[in-house]
Amino acid sequence: MTSDSSPESSNDAARVYDGVRRGIVEGDFLPGSRLVEQRLAEKFECSRTPVREAVRRLESEGLVVVERNRGARVRPLTEHEIADLYDVRARLEGYAASLAASRHEHADLVVLRRALDRFERATDAGLRSRDDRAVVRELDAANAEFHEALLTMSRHTRIRSLVHSAVDAPLVFQALQHFEPGELERSATFHRLIADAVTAREPERAERLMVEHVLQGRDTLLAGLSAFDDVADLFAGRRG
Amino acid sequence: MTSDSSPESSNDAARVYDGVRRGIVEGDFLPGSRLVEQRLAEKFECSRTPVREAVRRLESEGLVVVERNRGARVRPLTEHEIADLYDVRARLEGYAASLAASRHEHADLVVLRRALDRFERATDAGLRSRDDRAVVRELDAANAEFHEALLTMSRHTRIRSLVHSAVDAPLVFQALQHFEPGELERSATFHRLIADAVTAREPERAERLMVEHVLQGRDTLLAGLSAFDDVADLFAGRRG
DNA sequence: CATGGCCGGATTGTGCGCAATCGACGGCGC
DNA sequence: GCGCCGTCGATTGCGCACAATCCGGCCATG
């Protein structure tokens, strides 16, 4: 689930936005840590102006919190908030899936199938070596492509940004899901079922399957979190 | 549904944000019209820097669109998009209502009741003179207070901003709803029923009622729109 | 020892100027 | 008359400096 702005965006603000966002998602900026404008400006070799813009955008997307005159920090998340976000996400993506089933055009199906295949290949690789960073990154990218394809097919101008508001913040924990045994296969299965329901233009089934898929992901993640309470503490911003 | 930042924010950026937002919602800036940074800076008596911040924030909330190096304009909406936004809103606020029914604390009910009373008073005034701008503004404010109260009671940190993403843009048309005969009473009735379901801690009923309430609003609005096709054209940015 | 006011460094908020970019207009050749 | 190209004005993108604000520590006082 990456943003619309491609990483090689020519303007500085978008470049900083992509960089900081990736830094947050991949764990280089830990939750609770401060994002000082001057520091980021030096890191990305530009002035504070585009940095400000990037940070404010991240704020409006819920990845960082800024307090007036006190600056920005990476938003810490409690287990409770993660669960809530996944519940909203389930509803939003479920709705998107039902729209996709109703509204898709033939060309969309090609894109969807390609995303499906990519995810299955990534799954195979992931089953062999799930601690290879490149493999994990490919898994996440393939997963994002599948979900993005459905958002596009829904023909709903705004739903993409709405889904991102719910999805992006918990993305920090994404990696945890891949370590749960069976989760990769489960995801692949659901992706296929969802694609089938959408292809057959069955909105209700597509919605139900998507809701269940997302809730599965929620539970896997929460299970992984409580298995690593110290990690949970870390991500909640309670530095030790 | 007004933003969290109170209008008397000491901050220039927030002041401009509030001002432009109000200008869009109240029709002073028509959809499709350009928002030139320098112009806004003069109007709000500050430099372009805070104006930029305000405009970018409005962009991320979907009220304006900006094209690179070409500036911002008030986002035009098609009837189709309005319908889609209301559908998402129904689901999101329905979810929020069910959460509110499950999670509210006793003190919340006082706030909810006050909002309810305020809306009923505003309704009475509205039935007498529905073309008085002050009365309409009070109606909108009371309505916003009711919906905001439920969002607060849902104890879901992020749902407020999600709902606003779906609600804010079509707010431009809000006024149209008040002219549909019977709509004010219908709204008041639903508000009361929703409040009752929430108070009685019945999440499913609260959700159903809220979904229906929002969809009623959608239909009223669309009916009003097609009754004024020229107005619709105007708001869609097709200037004549 | 607890408390409150004061000061200095760090960081954000804002103003302002210049360079880059885009669209419109008009001149040129055909 | 029509399409192409260069120039120009309008506007945004960005860098930079100064002002406003906040936090921590220090000191005086009770």
Distance in angstroms: CA B11, C1' D19: 14
Q: Which of B47, B50, B23 has the alpha carbon at shortest distance from B34?
A: B23
CA atoms within 13 A on the CB side of A92: 30
Contact A140, A181 (CB under 8 A): no
- Residues A133-148: tens digit of each pLDDT: 888 889 999 999 999 9
Element of type H or E holding B35: strand B34-35
CB contact under 8 A, A165 and B166: no
Name the nt closest to A40 by C-alpha to C1'. C11
The residue assigned the tokens 């929460």 is A222
Residue A43 confidence (pLDDT) above 80: yes
Distance in angstroms: CA B187, C1' D20: 46
The reported pLDDT for the residue numbered A3 is 40
A36 Cα to chain B: minimum distance (Å): 17
- DSSP one-letter code for A170: G
Q: How far apart are CA A70 and CA A7, in angstroms?
A: 29
Q: How far apart are CA A91 and CA A94, in angstroms?
A: 5
Q: Taking the mean position of all CA atoms in its chain, how far away is CA B27?
A: 13
Residue A235 confidence (pLDDT) above 60: no
> What class does CATH assign to A12-74?
mainly alpha
Any idea of the CA torsion for A151, A7, A144, A106, to the nearest 10 degrees? 40
- Residues A59-89: tens digit of each pLDDT: 999 999 999 999 999 999 999 999 999 999 9
Q: Note the maximum CA span of chain A.
A: 54
Name the nt closest to B52 by C-alpha to C1'. D12
CB contact under 8 A, B161 and A165: yes
Residues on chain A touching B156 (C-beta within 8 angstroms): 84, 88
Q: Is B49 exposed, middle or buried (0-12, 13-18, 19+ CB in 10 A)?
A: middle
Between A151 and B172, where is the model more confident?
Answer: A151
A156 Cα to chain B: minimum distance (Å): 7
Break chain B down into helix, strand, coil percent, rounded to 5.
70, 5, 25
DSSP characters over B159-191 = HHHHHHHHHTGGGGGHHHHTTSTTHHHHHHHHH
Best-predicted range by mean pLDDT (A114-118, A225-229, B8-12): A114-118
- Chain B residue with CA closest to A62: the answer is B158
β-pair partners for B35: B72
pLDDT, one tens digit for every residue, chain B (240 residues): 433 434 566 799 999 999 999 999 989 999 999 999 999 999 999 999 999 999 999 999 999 999 999 999 999 999 999 999 999 999 999 999 999 999 999 999 999 999 999 999 999 999 888 778 889 889 999 999 999 999 999 999 899 999 999 999 999 888 888 878 789 999 999 999 999 999 999 999 999 999 999 999 999 999 988 876 655 555 555 443
By three-state DSSP, how is residue B36 classified?
coil
Contact B37, A53 (CB under 8 A): no
A189 Cα to chain B: minimum distance (Å): 27
A214 to A208, B12, B216: CA distances (angstroms): 10, 41, 29
Distance in angstroms: CA B68, C1' D5: 24
pLDDT band at A129 (very low <50, low <70, confident <90, very high): confident
CB contact under 8 A, B162 and A162: yes
Q: For chain A, list residues whose CB is within 8 angstroms of any CB belonging to chain B.
A: 11, 49, 52-53, 56-57, 60-62, 68, 81, 84-85, 87-88, 91-92, 95, 156-159, 161-162, 165-166, 169
B119 to A69, A136, B66, B132, B189: CA distances (angstroms): 37, 52, 36, 16, 11
The residue assigned the tokens 């809530």 is A84
CB contact under 8 A, A95 and B88: yes
Q: State mean pLDDT over A154-160.
A: 94
Nucleotides of strand D under 7 angstroms from a protein beta carbon:
10-17, 20-23
- Chain A residue with CA closest to B14: the answer is A68
The reported pLDDT for the residue numbered A128 is 87
Contacts of A221 (CB under 8 A, 6+ apart): A82, A86, A170, A173, A176, A177
Residues on chain B touching A49 (C-beta within 8 angstroms): 49
Residues on chain B touching A65 (C-beta within 8 angstroms): none
DSSP characters over B48-80 = HHHHHHHHHHHHHTTSEEEETTTEEEEPP--HH
Q: Which residues of A79-98 are buried (b: 16+ CB within 10 A; e: fewer)?
A: eebbbbbbbbbbbbbbbbbb
> Dihedral of CA B30/B33/B37/B38: which sign?
negative
The reported pLDDT for the residue numbered B240 is 33
Q: How far apart are CA B86 and CA B216, in angstroms?
A: 10
Domain ranges across chain A: 12-74, 79-235
Size of interface A-B (CB pairs under 8 A): 70
The reported pLDDT for the residue numbered A9 is 66
Percent of chain A's residues with pLDDT above 90: 76
Distance in angstroms: CA B48, C1' C28: 40
Distance in angstroms: CA A150, C1' D17: 48
Q: How far apart are CA B57 and CA B64, in angstroms?
A: 9
CB contact under 8 A, A84 and B53: no
Distance in angstroms: CA B38, C1' D9: 15
User: Hey, of A88, A99, A207, which one would you mutate to test binding to chain B, going by the most B CBs within 10 A of its CB?
Assistant: A88
CATH of domain B79-235: 1.20.120.530
Q: How far apart are CA B229 and CA A20, in angstroms?
A: 45
Contacts of A117 (CB under 8 A, 6+ apart): none
Measure CA of the first residue to CA of the last residue in chain A; give whole Å: 31
The reported pLDDT for the residue numbered B1 is 44
Name the nt closest to B41 by C-alpha to C1'. C15
CB contact under 8 A, A56 and B57: yes
Residues on chain A touching B11 (C-beta within 8 angstroms): 68
- Chain A residue with CA closest to B157: the answer is A81
Kindly report the number of other CB atoms within 10 A of residue A17's CB atom. Answer: 25
